[in-house]
Amino acid sequence: MVLVAAGVLAAWQPQAPTTPRNRFEAAAALFERECAACHGSDSSGGRAVSLFDQAWLDSTDDDAIVTAIENGVPDTEMAPYRDLLEAPDVWALVQFIRTRAGSFVEAPAYVARADGEVVDSERHTFRVDTVVGGLETPWALVFLPDGRMLVTERRGTLRIVANNELSEPVTGTPEVWERQDAGMHDVEIHPEYADNGWIYLAYSEVAPGHTPSASEATPGSPPGREPPSPPNMQVFIRGRIDDDNRWVDQELIYRASLDLYTSSDTHYGTRLVFDDANHLFFAIGERGVMEHAQDLSSPLGKIHRVNDDGSIPDDNPFVGEGAAVPSIWSYGHRNPEGLAWHPETGALWESEHGPRGGDEINLIEPGHNYGWGVISSGIQRGITEAARDGMESPIVYYTPTLAPAGIAFYTGNPFSEWTNSLLVGSLWGQELRRLEIVGREVTHQEVLFAQFGRVRDVVVGPDGYVYVARQDPTGGSTGVSLTASTPGSVIRLVPVED
């Protein structure tokens, strides 16, 4: 009930206006100064109920909390503060409450050896099997028609898994720039792979023809006080693997213009997915410059659609519109990490990293603007709106952050109670989450597990089991840099019969 917010800001007096840079910090200070005496600073509360009670937060939504702050709560001490707080500051206070509440939720202890662990979820009990270990930050998975699996490692390698055994890296793949978020990313196969053998790769490369300066980092530079990176960008190619485990017949699908290459090592986005008509969809992040996302003359911060050879379909939404990049399918994206088709509706769904909170699950439609650079459900300097007419708000968003990664809709028989659920992997949350969807609405969410490390990708195998690319934890109290490469494995979820 919103009534538990009674007393919030009851003693607040107007302060100097805050800027987007310090809005979140100002919200934290405001809460401690004016709210904590009544509601307490932790989940136990004070003389009034705690606003960090996760059960209450799960039972309400942000709009209701905003309304309580702006309009007050009748028959309580909670007066309206619409005229005393700017809307972005109210939003920052709500996001602070959710973020702080998340810090009081004890995460499950990390289980380093997941093999054989049994999990009781809402709909199915399942066992975790290790398919293959010995990987280093596995980033993406895809099955070949013969049941073998392709796995990318962020450090720049492509491997084959067959009969629970890991091949040596495929030779002859392109040189990859790896640092922080950069590296070898997604892999996908052509829908007609059995006939043509095409495999599609996305990876980050140093600008072709670039001559390194003495001060630049080089591949394999150790973490720490690193020199600046060379200009780099995501590139999309296709090729084949021959009988000698060699990458051959490489062709370019998409490369951005060289003037967009940047020394930033963040926000590459990068997922690949085909539709039923052999169109390839791929995502590129805005590379840390949010203005790119709204600029139709830039490919950054966009989801693109091309033919399987990289040519442009005539019916793309911005074909022939001035300087607009003709491959753009949707825009206003920050850092897309997952793409998946709903098996019944045919709708394209996407996962996306937000700024400070505000991670998103979106339903992608051609030509639509998803708002990054102008609106956000998180907190970002320079953005003061959470919604605007003409821009798509997320179907659901997450504060505190989950850092959602690969996604997949479940189809198959072994987990029949999960049919059409969206499975969402997460990096910061270290979760595999299941979302039930009706039309455009997420009606229920369940965390399937959160104790086996960072989940990079999730796919449904031809056997109907769920396969997950995971890596050992980073950041937080681990003592390992958040973006460090760590050992990983592919695990499989197998239902356990009653």
pLDDT at 11 over 50: no
> Could you tell me the pLDDT band of residue 422, with boundaries at 50, 70 and 90?
very high
CB atoms within 10 A of CB 251: 12
Q: Which domains does the chain have, with CATH numbers?
A: 2-103 (1.10.760.10), 118-495 (2.120.10.30)
Tell me if 114 sits within 8 A of 372, measured CB to CB.
Answer: no
Q: In the chain, what is the straight-line distance between the N-terminal and C-terminal CA atoms, in Å? A: 38
> Lowest mean pLDDT: which of 6-20, 116-130, 206-220, 383-397?
6-20
The whole-number pLDDT of residue 87 equals 86
**pLDDT higher for 360 or 49?**
360
> Phi and psi (nearest 5°) for 69?
-70, -45
Evaluate whether 267 touches 288 at the Cβ level (below 8 Å).
Answer: yes
Nearest-Å Rg of the Cα atoms of the chain is 23
Query: Minimal CA–CA distance to 313: which of 279, 282, 273?
Result: 279
Q: What are the b/e assignments for 70-83, b being 16+ CB within 10 Å?
A: eebbeebebeebee
Given this model, what pLDDT does residue 90 score? 87
- pLDDT, position 224: 58
What CA–CA distance (Å, rounded) separates 489 from 293? 34
Q: State the DSSP H helix or E strand holding residue 130, giving kind and residue range, or none if neither.
A: strand 125-136
The pLDDT score that the predictor gives to residue 222 is: 61
Alpha carbon distance 403, 365 (integer Å):
22
Residue-wise pLDDT tens digits, 261-287: 999 999 999 999 999 999 999 999 999
Phi-psi region of 28 (alpha: psi -120 to 50; beta: other; left: phi over 0): alpha
Quick check: 12 pLDDT over 50?
no
Listed as own residue / partner, the contacts of 158-162 with beta carbons closer than 8 Å and 24 or more positions apart are: 158/184, 158/187, 158/201, 158/247, 159/135, 160/241, 160/245, 161/131, 161/132, 161/490
Q: Are 180 and 223 in contact (CB under 8 A)?
A: no
Mapping DSSP to helix (H, G, I), strand (E, B) and coil, where does residue 36 land?
Answer: helix
Share of the chain above pLDDT 90, in %: 73
Judged against a pLDDT cut of 50, whether residue 9 lies above it is answered with no
Q: d(Cα 356, Cα 466) in Å, to the nearest integer? A: 30
Specify the DSSP element, H or E, that contains 412: none
Q: Establish whether 267 is a catalytic residue.
A: yes
Task: Burial-class residue 438 by CB neighbours within 10 Å (0-12, 13-18, 19+).
Answer: exposed
Task: List pLDDT tens digits, range 124-179.
Answer: 999 999 999 999 999 999 999 999 999 999 999 999 999 999 999 999 999 999 99
The DSSP secondary structure of 153-165, one letter per residue, reads ETTTEEEEEETTE
What is the structure's pLDDT at 5? 37
Q: Which amino acid is at 216?
A: E
Rounded Cα–Cα distance for residues 399 and 90 (Å): 15
The pLDDT assigned to 31 comes to 82
Catalytic residue among 124, 185, 267, 292: 267
Please state the rounded mean pLDDT for residues 314-340.
98
Q: What whole-number distance in Å separates Cα of residue 455 and Cα of residue 163?
A: 22
pLDDT at 38: 75
- Residue 114 tokens, joined: 């997941």
Q: DSSP secondary-structure letter at 418?
A: G
List Cα–Cα distances, 294 to 3, 21, 305, 333, 420, in angstroms.
39, 21, 17, 8, 32
d(CA 25, CA 15): 14
Flag whether pLDDT at 15 surpasses 60. no
Does residue 14 carry a pLDDT above 60? no
Average pLDDT over the chain reads 91
Give the three-class secondary structure for 436: strand
Question: CB-based contacts of 38: which residues, under 8 Å, 6+ apart?
Answer: 7, 10, 46, 47, 48
Average pLDDT over residues 406-430: 97
Cβ atoms 205, 175 nearer than 8 A: yes
- Under a CB-based contact definition with an 8 Å cutoff, are residues 271 and 283 in contact? yes
What confidence score (pLDDT) does residue 225 get? Answer: 62
Predicted confidence band of residue 49 (pLDDT cuts 50, 70, 90): confident
Query: Is the sign of the CA dihedral 249, 252, 258, 264 positive or negative?
Result: negative
- pTM beyond cutoff 0.75: yes
| CA dihedral sign, ordered 15, 20, 26, 31 | positive
Q: How many CA atoms lie within 13 A of 216 on its CB side?
A: 15
